Structure 1
Amino acid sequence: MPVSPRPVRDGVGATRLRVPLTGPWETIADYVLERFGHVDRQVLHDRIDRGDIVDASGAAVQRNTPLGATEFIWYHREPPAVERTVPFDEEILHLDDDLVVIDKPHFLPTTPGGRFLNHTALVRLRRRLDNPDLVPIHRLDRATAGVLMFSARPATRGAYQSMFERREVQKLYEAVSAAPPDGLPTFPLVHRSHIQRFRDNLCVQTRPDLPPNAETLIELISTGTSVGGHAGLEVVHTRLRPHTGRMHQLRVHLAQLGLGILGDRYYPELLPETPEDDPERPLQLLAKALRFTDPLSGRPRLFTSRRRLADAPPRG
């Protein structure tokens, strides 16, 4: 991956954009204006004139820089005019020279995107620890809480990233679903399907006509009555062990079994976006633990979330 020519600024790294080398646009600026239709022409030109947009060498892109002059440009995102706050704090579970592990709350994005910049786990941690080299080794959806791991320095980052690529990290999740009226499936069970992601689509699609590319082992923890945001509802508390890591895999697999996760606004049905998050009814999905053999020391490592899903049946 190309190295950013721009330093991290107040915890925020530069965004990299691939620019086509050929096309109907005369200049890079013309392409950017069409790619991001909401961007005002004068605002973009002002940023270009200030030298805010650069190529791989760090040289400023000009208004008349022709298409094809560079394949990538870098720029710092402008803070949203109004950024939705996330009034929940991340907890640091582990900190050393190479790794930072946190217990992420619901509603906090892992990295900047869309309407979120300052209220993201990455930017918060970079500022909190004064470490611009922090980078997430994996990601959790904004709606999902739990264990999230960051690389603290570039020298050892590849060793930890490779663990995930080779599927050497054991991931454990928990979820709470409404009890289906037709009864529960027989647990434990392994669910497989083909999940396909399409660019700019909020939801993934499943393809029964293609061989499975996603696999999850699902185990029953308990059943009972919720005392959380869905108080009085009969619920099912499950443990999930994904073998693969497809986008929204756990949410899709439970929805396919008639066990759509409580608080899920994507599956089994995409619901309209709400202007505010409901702190009383977060998505009942928790990244409970990560287990692996440390590639540097060879020692076993286990990081476990201290959070509990509010709608899980009370423990006996």
Structure 2
Amino acid sequence: PSSSGRAAELLAKERGTVPGFVGFGTSQSDLGYVPAVQGAEEIDSLVDADFRMVLRKLSKRDITTKLKAMQEFGTMCKEREAEVVKGVLPYWPRIYCKISLDHDRRVREATQQSFEQLILKVKKHLAPYLKSIMGYWLIAQCDTYSPAASAAKVAFEKAFPSSKQPEALAFCKDEILNVLQDHLLKETSDTLSDPQTVPEEEREAKFFRILTCSLLALKKLLSMLPKKEIHSLEEKLMSLLSQNKFWKYSKHSIPQVRSAFFELASAFCQYLTELVKAEAPRVCPAVLLSIDDSDAVVCPALWEAVLHTVATIE
């Protein structure tokens, strides 16, 4: 709520509009935002009883219950009046940021499909919640399960015409980077899933998938942001590149993580040339000393990174 509130406050100053939401209509009279609601009781009074029941089901651990509830949520977003659906918005960031990372791929796909229905109904009223959602939305677009990734991309395209997508990401760039850095540097399999209820194998699989998606999401962010916006992130990115933990992903036990790391290394060479040159003592060993990696999943990304590194660092 605090970040949503801050975003709402910023948007109010910008007369209720947000870069990228031009696709939703630009008449100042109909632009506005749903203020962040602080107390759960207040939120409850705003949320339609049927929606409230579905939202409760979404917090259940049982996969079938969650999947059915998410599908039901999408149908309700499609069928109910916009004013009713808007009452769900203060709840949505917390739900979306959790369930979009769910271990079950069908749940993740259904989440993105339902999000599309929510966007189509609430349109510009999603604006105050963008900053708290966008990092997870970008991760979802890089999902290793392609139907889930495709559904997240479709939702993104429905929210923003392609010409406005870079602006929308620039609007949320700091929040996105915070989420990605937390996943790459702080989170563990035990912080992302409850060790008391989730088996170790499932916890680890989810963690490795989120690492992979976070590396790819950072690559996507760099490739889509306007150049001047990338420049404004350099200080934060320098702190990421100064961490030994980041460079160790080049030797990670999971091929998908290694591959995503090398894809990101190529992106750094393309979009942050000076930064890469400054970090040459870390970049060169991480990339060039990995050329004996023979895994078929890793090789295409690795060799592209080798070429970019050699071309960038003289």
- TM-score w.r.t. length of structure 1: 0.25
Q: Which has the higher strand share?
A: 1
- TM-score w.r.t. length of structure 2: 0.25
